[in-house]
Amino acid sequence: MVTFKTPFAGTADARNALKCALTMLRGLDAFIRMRVAIGQPAIQAGFGLHYGTVVLVDIGANRLEAATRAVSCALLASDSHVAQARTEGAADALDQAGLQAQPPTSLAGLENAVAVWSARGLSP
């Protein structure tokens, strides 16, 4: 889990989180390719991004990360995160992520489904 500017919000937190997740995905893709090249099985991981007020013990991003398996994607971002990233001028990172709107998704512990955006891994 990573937070930015805790406990105070910054002016580029959503953009920084998105860029951080993309960098981590690139590193993971390289690691997976290396494992496969030496005959080890590929591994899977998911990343969840959320923007908003949180209680640090119960954070929305971990629910999104867990939902990556159900949605079969590498990265799942809440609609509020994507909206904030746009506000912060992160069009380049959003384009690079190739996020696609998904139907509202049920997350553990939440009564209502959440609007989300997903991205597959960066490898072909």
At 52-86, the pLDDT tens digits run: 776 554 555 788 888 888 888 888 899 999 999 99
| Bridge partners for 119 per DSSP | 75
Q: How far apart are CA 111 and CA 98, in angstroms?
A: 28
Angle among Cα 23, 20, 91 to the nearest 5 degrees reads 95
Which DSSP string corresponds to 25-60?
A: HHHHHHHHHHHHHTTPPP----EEE--S--BTTB-H
Q: What is the pLDDT of residue 37?
A: 96
Q: What is the pLDDT of residue 56?
A: 56
pTM equals: 0.65
Q: What is the pLDDT of residue 38?
A: 96
Least confident among 13-27, 29-43, 57-71: 57-71
Q: How far apart are CA 78 and CA 122, in angstroms?
A: 19
